[in-house]
Amino acid sequence: MLTQTHAPAHAATPRGHTVLHPVRLPLTRTHLRAVNPVARKDNCENCRLHAVCVPDGLDAGERDEFIGLVFQHKRFAVGERLYRAGEAFTHLYFVKTGAFKSVMMLHDGREQITGFHLAGDMLGIDAIGDSAHPSEAVAIEEAWVCAVPYQSLMQLSRRAEPVQSYVQNLLSRELVRDQGVMLLLGRMQAEERVAVFLINLAQRFKTRGQSPNEFILPMVREDIGNYLGLTLETVSRCLSRLKKAGLIEVNNRQLRILDHAGLEQVIGAGQNHD
Amino acid sequence: MLTQTHAPAHAATPRGHTVLHPVRLPLTRTHLRAVNPVARKDNCENCRLHAVCVPDGLDAGERDEFIGLVFQHKRFAVGERLYRAGEAFTHLYFVKTGAFKSVMMLHDGREQITGFHLAGDMLGIDAIGDSAHPSEAVAIEEAWVCAVPYQSLMQLSRRAEPVQSYVQNLLSRELVRDQGVMLLLGRMQAEERVAVFLINLAQRFKTRGQSPNEFILPMVREDIGNYLGLTLETVSRCLSRLKKAGLIEVNNRQLRILDHAGLEQVIGAGQNHD
DNA sequence: CGCTATCTTGAGTAGCGTCAAGTCATGTGG
DNA sequence: CCACATGACTTGACGCTACTCAAGATAGCG
C-alpha cells in the first residue's frame, strides 16, 4: 500500500514548472482557512475555472452567495491526502490546480483507484450518502483546492434551482462515468483499456483548453494500471505497442497522440462481440 | 402531464445483432397509467415497500404530496425494457416486485450489466445528468414498477428538505456501490467476485425481510458473469468450487449459504496484497 | 413428450500477471 | 561537479487464471 508519509517534498512536478515553495515537510494538515468575503469573491471571479465551478443561471445575488460559500484554498504536496477513508464529510472540494486520485481500499490492503481529478473537477461527492468518505483522495501532483461546506450548499440549492440541478447533475454524471469504467473493466482487453484511458484524458484536457494531442500524464504507470485493472508492466507494454503501431508517441510522462482515429479503432478490434 | 412516456414500442434488436434473451414477443409497451389520487395514496400506504420508497421525516402534507407524485404501476415481462439507452429522461422508477438489470452498451455490441435492481430499488438516476438514459433497464423477472416524475420531485425537494437529502443520498450511495464494483472488477479474482456477489445479494434479501441464507437467484449465470466481468462457465465453476468447499448449496437458481463466515474468508484468500 | 434454454464439466489455449534484469532520469551527498 | 542512490519505466521469460470450444446433463414449458 502506499506509504502515506511525505511525498518527497521537492514538488515532483514532472514538467519544468517552477516550484514556488519547495517546502520540506512534516506534513501537518492545517485547516482550510476562510478568507474574507471580498477576497473570496475575487478569487472565484478571477479564477479561470469559474465557468466550470460556479453554476450557470444564477442571478447576481445567488451567484455572490455561492461564491461566498467557497473557502479559499490550500496546498497539497504529492502524496498528501485531502481526506481519508472514514473521515467525516463536511465539504465538497474543487481542484484548482494539480491533480488527485480517488482510492478505494479493501481491508486486506488491496486498493482500487476509482478516478483521477484534474483542475475544475469536484471531489468528495461519494461521501454525501453516509456522511463519511468511503474513499481517500491523494494528490498526484502538487495541488490547490477550494472547499464548499455541503450543508450550506444544500440550503442554497433549496432556494436556487440552478444550484440544485448543478449538484444533481454532477452526481448523476459521475454515476455514468463510473458505469463506463465498469464496462471497461468488465469487458475490455488491456490495449483497449489503455486506448480508452488516453482518449478520455485527451478529451478532458481539451475541455480544459489544453492541447488534447500532447500532454503530460499526471500519474505514474502504476496508477494507470491500478485504475485500469492492470499491472504497470502491462500498461507499459500496451503503450509500447501503441507507439510501435504509430498511434502515439510516449516518453515517460510525455505523451503525444499521433492518430486519434486509429486509437479509437483499437477499441473493439478483435473482440468477443456478444 | 403523465401519459407522454412514449416508448419505441417494439422490442427491435437495437443494431442488428441477435436478441439473446428468450423474448417471446411482440412486447407491446403500454403506457404508465395514473390512477386517481386516493388510489395512489392507498397504493403507497398499503405497499409493503413504503418504508423504503417514501422518504422519512416528512410532515403529513409533504408525505401526501410525495405519494401523490407516484404514478401507479405497470407490468413488465421478462426481457421487456423499462427504458432504452438514449431515451429521454422524465421519470424515476421504483421496482415494486420482480427484478431488473441495468445494461450499458458499447457500439460494437458488447454489453456490461452495471447493476441488478430488486423490489424497493430505484431505477433511472443515472439519466439525470444528461436528461437521457445512458443505459437500459431490462426485466429479468416479471416485474411491476412505480414511476415518479423527476421535475415534480425536484420541485418538492426544494420545499421539503427530507426529500432533497433522500435523492442526494440515493445518488451518492449508488456512486459508492459502483466504486465497490470497480474494486471488485479491478482487483479481485473470479472466486472472490462470486463470493462478494452472493454476500451482497444475501444482504439485500435480508434488508427486504427475506431469508439471507436461502433464496432464488433472480438472474441467469450469464448475467452474473457479465456483471462480474466473467464468463458464465467461470461463474458455474466457482459456484461448484464453493459448493465442494461446503460453503454453499446450489441447484440452478436455488441457492443456500451454509457458511457465511467462510464465504467472507474467500475474499482476500491468497491475493496480491499490494 | 420433446424442444430449448440453462447449467455443468472437461480439455486446450491465450492473455495477462509475476518475477527479474536492465535503462533512464532526477536528486543527493561528498 | 561527479558518483551514487532512488524511483520510474521498459522489456523478456515463464506460469497461471480465466477464456474458448465442446459435449453432455438437467429443467422448464408448450
Query: Per residue in A78-136, pLDDT tens?
Result: 999 999 999 999 999 999 999 999 999 999 999 999 999 999 999 999 999 999 999 99
- Burial call A180-215: b when 16+ CB within 10 Å, e when fewer: bbbbbbbbbbbbbbbbbbbbebbebbeebeeebeeb
A237: left (phi over 0), alpha (psi -120 to 50) or beta: alpha
- Please tell me the distance from the alpha carbon of residue B173 to that of residue B127, in angstroms, as a whole number: 16
Among B102, B106, B274, beta carbon nearest to A110: B274
When pLDDT is averaged across residues B19-40 and rounded to a whole number, the result is 36
A129 and B173 in contact by Cβ < 8 A? Answer: yes
pLDDT value at position A20?
Answer: 30
Rounded CA–C1' distance between B272 and C11, in angstroms:
28
B108 and A135 in contact by Cβ < 8 A? Answer: no
B130 lies within 8 A of chain A by CB: yes
For testing contact with chain A, the best of B135, B161, B187, B264 (most A CBs within 10 A)? B187
By CA distance, what is A115's nearest residue in B? B179
Do B95 and B141 form a contact (C-beta atoms < 8 A)?
no
pLDDT value at position A27?
Answer: 28
B172 and A106 in contact by Cβ < 8 A? Answer: no
Residues of chain A predicted below pLDDT 50: 1-38
Output the pTM of the full model.
Answer: 0.86
Residues A146, A222, A88: CA angle, nearest 5 degrees: 35
Protein-contacted bases of chain D (C-beta within 7 A): 8-13, 17-22, 27-28
Give the closest-approach CA distance of B10 to chain A in angstroms: 22
Give the closest-approach CA distance of A181 to chain B in angstroms: 7
pLDDT value at position A47?
Answer: 87
The letter for the amino acid at B197 is F
A274 and B109 in contact by Cβ < 8 A? Answer: yes
By CA distance, what is A124's nearest residue in B? B172
Protein-contacted bases of chain C (C-beta within 7 A): 4-11, 15-20, 25, 27-28
For testing contact with chain B, the best of A101, A179, A231, A233 (most B CBs within 10 A)? A179
Least confident of A15-29, A66-80, B47-61, B100-114: A15-29
- Please tell me the distance from the alpha carbon of residue B198 to that of residue B206, in angstroms, as a whole number: 12
User: In the numeric block, which cell numbers belong to residue A175?
Assistant: 454515476
A16 lies within 8 A of chain B by CB: no
Strand C proximal to B21 Cβ, under 7 A = yes
User: In the numeric block, which cell numbers belong to residue A224?
Assistant: 494507470
- Please tell me the distance from the alpha carbon of residue B168 to that of residue A168, in angstroms, as a whole number: 7
B270 lies within 8 A of chain A by CB: no
Give the closest-approach CA distance of B107 to chain A in angstroms: 9
- Please tell me the distance from the alpha carbon of residue A132 to that of residue B125, in angstroms, as a whole number: 22
Q: How confident is the model at residue B194 (pLDDT cuts 50, 70, 90)?
A: very high
Percent of chain B with pLDDT over 90: 77
pLDDT value at position B240?
Answer: 97
B175 and A173 in contact by Cβ < 8 A? Answer: no
B38 pLDDT above the threshold of 90 = no
